[in-house]
Structure 1
Amino acid sequence: MLDICCHTKPENKGTIDNIDFTLERLLKRKDFADGIDFLERFFELSEYKLSVKHFDSFVHELHNHRDTYLSTLLTRWLLSKKMKLGKYSYDLLRDIDNGISIGFDKSCFPEDSQGVHLFLARKACGWFFNQPKTAISLIESLIPDAPEDDLGDIQLLIFNPLCISYPGSICQRMEELQNSSQSRLKEIASNVLSDYEKYQESVMAALEVNELKPSEQDCHTYWKHQNKLMNESMKQDRSKSFIISLFTESVLLYGNKSIYYIHHDEQKTRQELPLQEFSHSIEFASMYYVDPHGIENMIWQFKAEGCAS
């Protein structure tokens, strides 16, 4: 039956949903290998027109087995040297805003594993650069067994671009690893923190060079341009928002309370509602500000390295 389903057309959504439920049941029955073999065959026959994210029940069940099935599939697809499967590895985790802690499955490594650790470290950095927690956890799992020749390059990878781009989360993780029982992890964590401290000193020294400082007029022009882009983006998104259409909108000119009235026949009661503060923060990669083209090129190289298709 699975051999026949391999030829399903991607536009047949009903059949795709049934395949999704079947794959989920295969995982629950611990027939992981059969499910993955079918899925990869389906992707190949359909010319990768449908992503793994369309099999949401299957993906959800994978996340219930993070340290086994999900780890194995990530490792397998990143080692496949196929760009599409690398992209699907990212799709497996794309809806997790803060990333997850997960490691590579070393049982998937080839017998001749020379260069594999550094190769996977680059893939983790490339595909999960926007999820630093995921990227650093994958790279961490490689360090204890990595060849000595690869450790220097892996350490450099953690420092640049990860630590430079995400100093908050990466430095915090490096500080935690300084208490690790693994001597390699402790050493690399200390080295990365030391390198970042030197980097910060260099940045502070560069700030003293007047020629590198933008004028007040340039700063004002830049932020005015950024505000314009942000306002245009918000206006465009609001016009398409379904949620906005469900509620009435009020504009507060001043004050810290909202006033509304409750009507009782011909009378009305005035009510005041104190405003509440809601906030959400994300860590944005600083290298997108410093060298956007350089970091994009680096990430693309990591993704495409070794890929034949």
Structure 2
Amino acid sequence: MENLQDEIIKVYHENKFLQTIYEISVENYQDQSLDFYELLIDLHNQGSIDVVEAFKSLKNLPGHERDFFRTRHILEKLLSKINAPVFSAMECVLNLVREAGQDGAAGTIISSFGDFCKADSSRPKEALAYIESSAETLADLLVSVIVAGADFDLEYYHNQAVRFLTHEDINIRRRAIFALGRINYLDNIILLQSGLAALEYSVSQEDDDIVLANIIRSSFSLFRQNQEQEKRYYHIISTALSKGGDYALHAATELFSFEKKELTDELVDILLSVLWKVNLQNKGTLNILDFALSNLLESNYDKGLPFMEKLLLNNPESMFDEFDSVISIFRKQENKNKLNNVGTRWLLKGEKILCKAISEIIKQTNATIEADPKEIEANNAATIVFLARKGIGYLFYNPITATSLLVSLIPQVKENEIKQELAALLFDPLLINFPGKVGDYLKQQLVHLADESKEVVNNTLKMLEDYLNDLHTTGEIFELRPSQIQKNAYQRYFSELLSESMKKAEKESVFLSLVSKSILLYGRKSINYIYEKSGEPKRMEIPLHSHSTEMEMPRIVNIDPFGVDYMLRVFRTERINQ
């Protein structure tokens, strides 16, 4: 240990301190040796080295052999136990926050500064004085200072936070409001009432979006500590949301997602009444909201679905595939009734964003949908035909899903004329384009269908059989019989399209960016070598197995692609008169 002590003092004076302690921390990463950190603390407190001054020179240099965050973490472990001038520690910490840039871990060291302040009751007051005199540069530390000081003198630091709510600097006001919610009031009702009154004053005076967001967070934090005045807290949150923008909505989204177990029904209703205004271009907010919505749809579907609709209709250009958690809810087998309901409901509404959402839920699955009778007006022929056409329009390339929807509509129809129209839609475009998939599916379903539905399906299958027989009676029509050379040319063209699409997908693949790729031209197995701890190579043989997949392409697309596209566009854009 003495040799290490001398070495550290030596490298400190040679300006190699940061590199050396980084290397030592990496070597001791597995056992997390406490002796090393205790040694640094002792050397600093004895005056042999100045850890704080040394870390002021730490830079976040891209590609540098010394990892910035791992090196900074050393200071985070030391800060609460070293003696240093408060202002010097503040400068060092803020410099390291700035060096971290936009990284999500940039501000973690601020909590270590809070621990530094908690180590001595004089430090929070001193830091507070520095912040007030240099608000522009030191404001980021206000919350940790007030929270640390409250451990020593709750009333004094609460009053300081309240006092800062009227500070001329907006950055101080933002952080002072946030600090009010971070203080642990230890059931001090008088101070809690004071904090509540301060938030009521601020929400009536402030228009800054970040301030309003922090008012929402702090109001809920105080509400969680004491719920006696819940109506006043609800009013504050509701007012802040009515005045706020994206930041306030993000704060509400955080409450809705992360605090769901502690939210009252009334507070949930307040949040839902405005969260539909969330801008789904804000990806951070969207990810949190997606998680919260999936939980709401599971726990309270009747409340979650109307909100989901309103949110999507307010963001008609959004991409529903970014709602990963919501999509997974509807894809669960145990939620089949929910899928039937949302599929019927949204296709009937006919709005593009809602219909595309159904298509996204179904995409890359073999899910089937049955029309939900509760969403269909009883025996309304126009509604049933509209739903069938809309389902084909958006689910055409999921033919099994579209077919299942049409088959489920047959028992809900009394008029033979409408049944024939559904049979016609089953035949053209579904059976004509996908005689394999759709034909096999219908034959499998025959044993499960009621007599009236079975008759319609049998007639439709007979129509397909007659259609295919008629095709074979046309003889050798040159236009319908491309030569082998023409077939090969088209296959090469189509293969090139698939190859380009595959290359594009590979470039965007997160998984493929982590692994290397090799191409085997021939052989029965692949051989690789992995290196064991001893450095010796070990031969690994992986037998090759065949793998295949098939895709049924719409038949008519090859003959009349524009006609198919036009038909689908008509089905998608149709509206039903209300």
TM-score class, shorter-chain normalisation, is: 0.7 to 0.9
Distance change in 2, residues 1:66/1:248 (3 Å):
closer
2:487 and 2:501 map into 1 onto residues whose CA distance is 21
* 2:441 counterpart letter in structure 1: R
* Larger Rg computed on CA atoms: 2
The answer to whether the 8 A contact 1:82-1:307 is kept is no
SS at match of 2:381: coil
Q: CA deviation at 1:43?
A: 2.9
- In structure 2, what is the equivalent of residue 119 of structure 1? 386
1:52 Cα deviation (Å)? 4.0
> 1:43-192 maps to which residues of 2 (within 5 A)?
43-44=312-313, 46-64=314-332, 66-94=335-363, 97-110=364-377, 113-146=380-413, 147-192=415-460
Deviation at 1:235, TM superposition (A): 4.1
Q: Show CA shifts across 1:107-139 (max 9, x none).
A: 112357231111111111111111112111111
Q: Distance in 1 between matches of 2:514 and 2:469?
A: 51
The CA distance in 2 between the partners of 1:241 and 1:16, in whole Å, is 22
Q: Which residue of 248, 273, 283 maps to 1:13? A: 283
Distance in 2 (alpha carbons) for counterparts of 1:226 and 1:23: 41
In structure 1, what is the Cα distance between the partners aligned to 2:346 and 2:393?
Answer: 14
1:202 correspondence with 2:470: yes
Residue 473 of structure 2 is aligned to residue 222 of structure 1:
no
- TM-score, L = length of structure 1: 0.84
Letter aligned with residue 108 of structure 1: E
Higher RCO structure (Cα 8 Å, ≥6 apart): 1
With over 3 angstroms needed to count, the CA separation of the structure-2 counterparts of 1:238 and 1:206, relative to structure 1, is farther
Q: Which moved more, 1:179-188 or 1:229-238?
A: 229-238
Q: Aligned partners of 1:249, 1:41: CA distance in 2, in Å?
A: 45
Could you tell me the TM-score, scaled by structure 2's length? 0.47
Instruction: Trace 1:279-290 onto structure 2 (pairs within 5 A).
Output: 279-290=548-559
Q: 302, 311, 324: which is aligned to 1:33? A: 302
Runs of 4+ in 1 over 6 A off after TM superposition: 262-271
Tell me what 2:8 maps to: none
**Which deviates further from its counterpart, 115-124 or 221-230?**
221-230
Which protein has the bigger helix share?
2
Distance 1:84 1:258, change over 3 A: closer
Q: 1:107 to 1:241 in 2, by over 3 A?
A: closer
Alignment partner of 2:430: what SS?
Answer: helix
Aligned length: 304
Q: Which consecutive unaligned segments of at least 5 residues does structure 2 have?
A: 1-269
Matched, 1:42 2:320: no
Whether the 8 Å contact between 1:66 and 1:102 is mirrored in structure 2 is: no
Check 1:132–1:153 CA distance in 2 against 1; reply closer, same or farther (3 A cut): same
Identity of aligned residues (%): 30
Deviation at 1:239, TM superposition (A): 4.4
**Cα gap change, 1:207 to 1:289, in 2 (>3 Å):** farther
Q: CA deviation at 1:307?
A: 6.3
